Amino acid sequence: MHRLVNKRILLGVTGGIAAYKAADLVRRLQDVGAQVRVVMTQGACEFITPLTMQALSGHPVHTTLLDPTAEAAMGHIELARWADLVLIAPASANFMARLAHGHGNDLLATLCLATGAPIAIAPAMNQQMWADTSTQKNLLILQEKGIKIFGPGSGSQACGEVGAGRMLEPLEILQQAAEVFDYQLLTGKHVVITAGPTREAIDPVRYITNKSSGKMGFALAEAAAEAGARVTLIAGPVNLPTPSRVDRVDVTRATEMYDACMKAVEEGCDVFVATAAVSDYRPTVTADHKIKKSTEEIHLTLVKNPDIVASVAEHAKRPFTVGFAAETRDVVAYAQGKLVNKKLDMIATNDVSGSNVGFNSDNNALTVIWPGGHKVLPLASKAQIAKQLIELIAIRYKD
């Protein structure tokens, strides 16, 4: 079931008596970490209300194709692109016919034409309808088109007959949906990543910060999610959009970032990557009001902030812990020391003395060090570097 974590399932519901079971299916999919959006045919709306499906999925239910307001919100092409899997449960005999023959006469049928995602159907109908030669011919066409067929099961039916045509139970559908997806490098793992700078307030309008843009951490979050992980991104103040499939926690001060990280580790995570440039010090006192210009000199006293990555590494529920070291000289030697002193599993280090890598740049180059080995990741975009680093982490984590 881990394979469904973060997967985007577009659940199509068609007009059959088993439509009520789609409500349970939504819950089951969400329970295993999938994101679910529901599309219903007009027929399905006669059996179960869109309101029920909306309440369960937590998102608006899509029912009509030729509706300008719906198109302006999340249009059919956008929905078709959004999906990792289009799952139609129950699939009526009528819908199977439409799907087999490429009809685009309602939202769900059009979505199926427009999507590049795999399509799976869980047929549900009276045993005679299932055995009918038209339905069986349509089934062959659907199989030839590569559409996955889940079930149907057989047994006693709502109409009082006995035979093949019952929709599989939601748990069985869930199992088969999971098998559509391959295991990925970080399938089923929870990865926590910190990113960006922190801001340490001097007074209500002034603060100490640094040049970190958060780009490296955000790229890593995206790469980890693409590798199948559940990702929590703990971000300092940055101006970046949240990568898709990533849960973001926004913080400002180092102490807030520390609290958010400790909470994530307490709750249990598998990998922790500290890319944030956390302020080492904060003003001992934050003035309640704006400090006025008066004397020639003012003195600011600073106090040390907690060391987040070291605290994570010595936690009883310690995840695989990866640190970052941005240095301007003796880069590798300093990182080696940090790896040992902070008891990290891996450290990624970069030279931020130039402007073509590191802070704020779109590119980076890293030397990744772990006990007994290292690898150089030469200059590339932060997205490419992130992918390579996630691969290294996944390999080392398994060792």
Residues with catalytic function: 159
3-state secondary structure the chain: CHHHCCCEEEEEECCCCCHHHHHHHHHHHHHCCCEEEEEECHHHHCCCCHHHHHHHHCCCCECCCCCHHHHHHHCHHHHHHHCCEEEEEEECHHHHHHHHCCCCCCHHHHHHHHCCCCEEEEECCCHHHHHCHHHHHHHHHHHHCCCEECCCEEEECCCCCEEEEECCCHHHHHHHHHHHCCCCCCCCCEEEEEECECCEEEECCEEECCCCCCHHHHHHHHHHHHCCCEEEEEECCCCCCCCCCEEEEECCCHHHHHHHHHHHHHHCCCEEEECCECCCEEECCCCCCCCCCCCCCCCCCEEECCCHHHHHHCCCCCCEEEEEEEECCCHHHHHHHHHHHCCCCEEEEEECCCCCCCCCCCEEEEEEEECCEEEEEEEEEHHHHHHHHHHHHHHHHHC
Q: Which of 39, 48, 114, 125 binds ligand FMN (CB under 6 A)?
A: 125
Question: What CA–CA distances, in Å, run from 197 to 215, 234, 257, 325, 366?
Answer: 11, 11, 10, 14, 19
Binding test (CB under 6 A) with ligand FMN, winner from 22, 53, 124, 274: 124
Interaction of residue 129 with ligand FMN, rule CB under 6 A: yes
Q: Does 93 bind ligand FMN (CB under 6 A)?
A: yes
Among 6, 35, 57, 94, binds ligand FMN (CB under 6 A): 94
Compute the least distance from the CB of residue 109 to ligand FMN, in Å: 8
Separation between Cα atoms, residue 239 and residue 233, nearest integer Å: 14
- Point out which span in 70-78, 91-99, 272-280, 286-294 binds ligand FMN (CB under 6 A): 91-99
Least distance CB 275 / ligand FMN (angstroms): 48
- Interacting positions 28-67 with ligand FMN (CB under 6 A): 41, 43-44
Ranked by CB distance to ligand FMN, the top (closest) residue is 43
Piece of 25-33, 123-131, 256-264, 333-341 that binds ligand FMN (CB under 6 A): 123-131
> Binding of ligand FMN at residue 86 (CB under 6 A)?
no
Query: Per-residue string for binding with ligand FMN, 315-354, x by CB under 6 A?
Result: ----------------------------------------
Q: Measured from the CB of residue 141, what is the shortest distance to ligand FMN in angstroms? A: 16
Q: Which is nearer to ligand FMN, 47 or 370 (CB)?
A: 47
Give min distance, CB of 36 to ligand FMN, in A. 19
- Least spacing, CB of residue 82 vs ligand FMN, in Å: 22
Binding test (CB under 6 A) with ligand FMN, winner from 6, 92, 212, 349: 92
Choose which of 53, 61, 95, 111 interacts with ligand FMN (CB under 6 A): 95
Residue type, 320: F
38 or 392: whose CB is closer to ligand FMN? 38
* 12 belongs to the binding site for ligand FMN (CB under 6 A): no
CB nearer ligand FMN, residue 105 or residue 295: 105
229 binds ligand FMN (CB under 6 A): no
Residues engaged in binding ligand FMN (CB under 6 A): 14-18, 41, 43-44, 92-95, 124-125, 129
